Amino acid sequence: MTISASYLKEFTQQVFEKMGCPAEQANEAAECLNQADLRGVDSHGVARLSGYIRLWEQKRLNATPNMRIVHETPSTAVLDGDLGLGLAVAPHAMRIAMEKARNVGSGWVAVKNSNHYGIAGFHAMMALEHDMIGISLTNASPLVSPTFSKSRFLGTNPIAVAIPAGKETPLVIDMATTTVANGKLEVLQRKGEEMPVGWAQDKDGQATTDPTVLKKGGSMLPLGGDRLHGGHKGYCLGAMVDIFSAVLSGANYGPWVPPFVAFLDPPANPVGDGIGHFLGAFRVDAFRPADEFKAHMDNWISTFRNAEVSDGQSRVLVPGDPEREMTAERLANGIPVQQAVIEDLKSLAQKFNLSFDPK
Amino acid sequence: MTISASYLKEFTQQVFEKMGCPAEQANEAAECLNQADLRGVDSHGVARLSGYIRLWEQKRLNATPNMRIVHETPSTAVLDGDLGLGLAVAPHAMRIAMEKARNVGSGWVAVKNSNHYGIAGFHAMMALEHDMIGISLTNASPLVSPTFSKSRFLGTNPIAVAIPAGKETPLVIDMATTTVANGKLEVLQRKGEEMPVGWAQDKDGQATTDPTVLKKGGSMLPLGGDRLHGGHKGYCLGAMVDIFSAVLSGANYGPWVPPFVAFLDPPANPVGDGIGHFLGAFRVDAFRPADEFKAHMDNWISTFRNAEVSDGQSRVLVPGDPEREMTAERLANGIPVQQAVIEDLKSLAQKFNLSFDPK
């Protein structure tokens, strides 16, 4: 069924509050999941709400974290998230980064001891209203193999960058460093269709078109796919995200990153605390006057949007266009929620003695 | 023929000095080209020397630049390269970034009014000996099309990141944001072989296996190739590099980036000055004690190097391994230089009244 964004946001916030989150964190976390649904990243929206609750029930998530800076310089900090909800830890880190940017031009906060932080773009976009460029990275449950390997050693490790513009809408990049997100394999499974080569490999590290391969010991491939198509570059990007998020902060990295799903135990002998994020902010006017920068961004954006279209295509997009258009559509018409997710939300309502009765 | 790295470096430095470069800049620029040859990036080494000379002869390159900071904060700066040799402008910018990192934890220098800066990795690697992470981006002559477009609007816009380790060798990423470098198409042309799909497209924006397609109005594809294989993510990365390098600094961006080759005129109505770079440095101990960080990097590197190998492959690499092994091999056995490049260097020797007589 289709549910209004505001109804889903309100319900999500109530669930987080029932879990014990302070109201402000519950609000921010609900907004982060809601934005994922609005932007069309259904895998990171309300569909994931019960997953956070299961982590909390297993005491792998702390509803009332005492977040604290454990190390800092004028432009950098390490934040200990105290196992808080990543959805609320990351915005807190981003605010610290922006405060540092206000003071010295840029700010960078590596976060340890956190959990899944939702869509990377949400945190990066916090910078936009302050005329700052926002950057957001996180590591994640290992599902991806390095080039030439069949070990699952990296997460889908996203990179998000949000860049303000003037009259044009801001440019927002939010991309996994894999060829595709895991959710795309699930769509093909449901349809019973084959998967393109270059998305994932089988348990022996060989090319496959079987979209169920992850359940059979296979792994996802870094952006590019195989070596011939530049997959080693995707591996480099995933490695960079892992190191910035976790080796700089003191979180778990590589195969030690704890899984999001509560039915899998975290790896034994952790090398750090929780999962790691990396948030950054540049003040635009730390480089040139903001008006000047934004006028040139407008020119950049309109130039690229007006690039010559390939034969057979209808238009050229600028990073962030599809998500913004999806947001407008879903704000107007509601968010389609699958029946399995509806059942999930009803269970949560029952568990927490809440009403879930969307029109 | 095969020529020793030291001979090539010495000759290159003499050429830059004859061009009028101050000795220190000539030395640094020669070192940058030499490192490209040693690392196996033959397209960015001594083969490119005569190209810089031609730019200088056309007065598009200033041998004695007055580089100056035109805007700064404690952690950021914009450097005007005064049309200097990018090979020397970028190291100067990197030193400013590192000085800022020393003071406030991180430093970021956007550069305008520069020229081709050689391999991105050279500048990023300057940070390593200072226990800093180095970052280096640059835009470049437009050869690459945005997803769904046939316009050449982006360069191969590389991303380099150098990360110190302890007992292990540092992790060095140096990658174009395209599927492959232009040089790989030239190799296939010489061999008369077909090109894999996903490397480049024809003038109508359609898939092709013709490696001569760039001469026929075609364009290179961003990392990932087509939309189905994530090419829009490579487009995002190329866009980010372009904006950080040129819109933050005030250089030319997108289709306005002046071409490296002297036989093509720079675009009319420039939107900025020269080409742009973006150099950054993080002090490792701005996040955690350097020894701790480096011990975890050693663990990261040895863990990934020991990942399970895919069937049919011999080993798993860590970013930077191939280039480091190539450097050791070429330091021992010399650098293979193609006959056309030898002739080029002989012409330069004649032009500048230098000796070129490698053994």
* Residues A260, A184 share a domain: no
CB-based contact A319 B201, cutoff 8 Å:
no
- Whether B260 is in a domain gets the answer yes
Residue B327 lies in a domain: no
A-chain residues within 8 Å CB-CB of B279?
none
Report, as an integer, the average pLDDT of A40-54: 95
User: Over 90: is that where the pLDDT of A38 sits?
Assistant: yes
Identity of the residue in B104, B237, B271 whose CB atom sits nearest the CB atom of A104: B104
Same domain for A112 and A237: yes
Closest B-chain CA to A272: B296
Confidence of residue A182 (pLDDT cuts 50, 70, 90): confident
Question: What is the per-residue pLDDT for A327?
Answer: 98
Q: Has residue A174 got a pLDDT over 90?
A: yes
B105 assigned to some structural domain:
yes
What's the confidence (pLDDT) of residue A125? 98
Query: pLDDT grade, residue B182 (50/70/90)?
Result: confident
Q: Under an 8 A CB cutoff, do A248 and B71 touch?
A: no
Distance from the Cα of A126 to chain B's closest Cα (Å) equals 18
Q: Read off the pLDDT of residues A116-166 as tens digits, 9 standing for 90 and up.
A: 999 999 999 999 999 999 999 999 999 999 999 999 999 999 999 999 999
* Contact criterion met (CB < 8 Å) for B206 and A311: yes
ipTM above 0.85, yes or no: yes
CATH assignment of the domain containing B358: 1.10.1530.10
B129 inside domain: yes
Domain end marker among A200, A220, A240? A220
pLDDT (mean) for A273-287: 98
Q: Does B90 fall in a domain?
A: yes
One domain for residues A209 and A118: no
Choose, out of B69, B71, B75, B153, the residue to mutate when testing the contact with A (most A CBs < 10 Å): B75
- pLDDT at position A62, please? 98
CATH code (residue B201): 3.30.60.50
Does position B181 have pLDDT exceeding 90, yes or no?
Answer: no
Neighbour order of strands in the sheet with B171-175:
B68-72, B76-80, B106-114, B275-283, B132-138, B159-163, B171-175
Mean pLDDT, range B110-125, rounded to an integer: 98
Rounded to whole angstroms, what are the CA distances from A170 to A53, A127, A128, A138, B5? 34, 11, 8, 22, 47
Torsion angle of the four alpha carbons B82, B83, B89, B92, in this order, in degrees rounded to the nearest 10: 0
Which of A70, A71, A72, A75 best tests the B interface by mutation, with the highest count of B CBs <10 A?
A75
User: Contacts of residue A239 in chain B, CB cutoff 8 Å?
Assistant: 171, 173, 304, 318-319
Taking each helix axis from N to C end, the angle separating B5-19 and B49-57, rounded to the nearest 10 degrees, works out to 0
The CATH number that applies at residue B281 is 3.30.1370.60
**A94 to chain B, minimum CA–CA distance in Å?**
16
Model confidence band, residue B187 (pLDDT cutoffs 50, 70, 90): confident
What is the per-residue pLDDT across B140-163, written as a single tens digit (0 to 9) for each? 999 999 999 999 999 999 999 999
Contact (Cβ atoms closer than 8 angstroms) between residue A5 and residue A34: yes
Distance from CA of B254 to the nearest CA of A (A): 7
Q: Please give the biggest Cα pair distance in chain A.
A: 56
Q: Taking CB atoms and an 8 Å limit, are A146 and B307 in contact across chains?
A: yes
Does residue A301 sit within a domain?
A: no
User: B288 vs A250: CB contact, 8 Å cut-off?
Assistant: yes
What pLDDT does residue A186 have?
Answer: 85
Q: Using 50, 70 and 90 to split pLDDT, how confident is the model at A259?
A: very high
Quickly state the pLDDT bin for A348 (edges 50, 70, 90): very high
Instruction: Say how many CB pairs under 8 Å bridge A and B.
Output: 278
Provide the percentage of residues in chain B whose pLDDT is more than 90. 95
Residue B212 has pLDDT above 90, yes or no: yes
3-state helix, strand, coil in chain A (%, to 5): 45, 15, 40
| B125 shares a domain with B87 | yes
Residues B36 and B130 grouped into a single domain: no
Residue A334 lies in a domain: yes
Which of A205, A233, A307 is facing B311, going by the closest CB pair? A205
Q: Look at residue B359 in the predicted model and tell me its pLDDT.
A: 79
What is the span of the domain harbouring residue A215? 180-220
Listed residues A243, A261, A286: the one ending a domain: A286
Q: Does residue A32 share a domain with residue A50?
A: yes
pLDDT of B214: 94
B184, pLDDT greater than 90: no
Residues of B in contact with A225 (CB under 8 A): 229
- Do B132 and B30 share a domain, yes or no? no
CA distance A150 to chain B (A): 5
Summary mean pLDDT of chain B: 97
What's the domain count of chain B? 3
N residues, chain B: 359
Inter-chain contact B310–A225, Cβ cutoff 8 Å? no
Nearest CB among A74, A150, A229 relative to B104 is that of: A74
Interchain pair B308, A223: CB under 8 A: no
Q: What is the pLDDT of residue B30?
A: 98
Is the pLDDT confidence value at A184 over 90? no
Instruction: Collect all residues of chain B within an 8 Å Cβ-Cβ radius of residue A316.
Output: 146-149, 151
CA distance A304 to A283: 24
Are residues B101 and B171 both part of a single domain? yes
Of A261, A286, A311, the position where a domain reaches its end is A286
A308/B151 CB distance under 8 A: yes
B179 CB neighbours in chain A (<8 A) are 224, 229-230
Give the one of B75, B180, B230 whose C-beta lies nearest to A179's C-beta: B230
Identify the closest residue of chain A to B303 by CA–CA distance. Answer: A254
pLDDT above 70 as % of chain B: 100
The answer to whether A22 and A319 are in contact (CB under 8 A) is no
Contacts of A79 in chain B (CB under 8 A): none
A74 to chain B, closest Cα gap in Å:
5
Query: Quick check: A307 and B145 CB within 8 A?
Result: yes
Alpha-carbon distance of B99 to B121, in angstroms, equals: 19
Task: Single out the residue of B180, B124, B304 nearest to residue A145, CA to CA.
Answer: B304
Instruction: Give per-residue burial for B225-238: e unless 16+ CB within 10 Å, then b.
Output: bbeebbbbbbbbbb
Tokens representing B341?
């490049």
Once rounded to an integer, what is the mean pLDDT over residues A28-46? 96
* Cα nearest neighbour of B233 on chain A: A175
Q: Is residue B326 part of a domain?
A: no
Same domain assignment for residues A274 and A198: no
Do B280 and B109 contact (CB within 8 A), yes or no?
yes
> Once rounded to an integer, what is the mean pLDDT over residues B336-359?
96
- Mean pLDDT of all residues in B181-188: 86
A132 and A271 together in one domain: yes
Q: Name the residue of chain A whose CA is nearest to B231's CA.
A: A224
Mutate to test the interface with A, among B248, B256, B315, B318 (most CBs of A within 10 A): B248
Q: Å from A159 to nearest chain B CA?
A: 9
Distance from C-alpha of A208 to C-alpha of A211, rounded to nearest angstrom: 8
Round the average pLDDT of chain A to a whole number and report it.
97
Determine the residue among B71, B96, B106 to mutate to test chain A binding: the one whose Cβ has the most chain A Cβ atoms within 10 Å. Answer: B106
* Coil, strand or helix at A148: coil
Task: Give the model's pLDDT for residue A183.
Answer: 81
Burial letters B137-176, b for 16+ CB under 10 A, else e: bbbbbbbbbbbbbbbbbbbbbbbbbbbbbbebebbbbbbb
As a whole-number percent, the residues of chain A with pLDDT over 90 amount to 95
Do B234 and B312 lie in one domain? The reply is yes
Q: Among the listed ranges A188-197, A200-209, A301-310, A317-326, which one has the minimum average pLDDT value? A: A188-197
Residue A359 is predicted with a pLDDT of: 79
User: Which among B146, B253, B314 has the least Cβ separation from residue A316?
Assistant: B146
Q: Are B243 and A315 a contacting pair at CB < 8 A? A: no
Select the residue of A173, A283, A316 nearest B240 (Cβ to Cβ).
A173
> What is the reported pLDDT for A209?
96
User: Strand pairing partners for A124?
Assistant: none
> Which residue is closest to B280 within chain A, CA to CA?
A106
Distance from CA of A206 to the nearest CA of B (A): 7
**Mutation site for A-interface testing, chosen from B112, B300, B310, B321 by largest number of A Cβ within 10 Å:** B310
Specify the pLDDT at position B93. Answer: 98
Q: What is the mean pLDDT of residues A171-193?
A: 92
Among A54-58, A258-262, B166-170, which is the least confidently predicted range? A258-262
Spatial distance between the Cα atoms of B195 and A124, rounded to a whole number of angstroms = 38
Judge if A235 and A150 occupy the same domain: yes
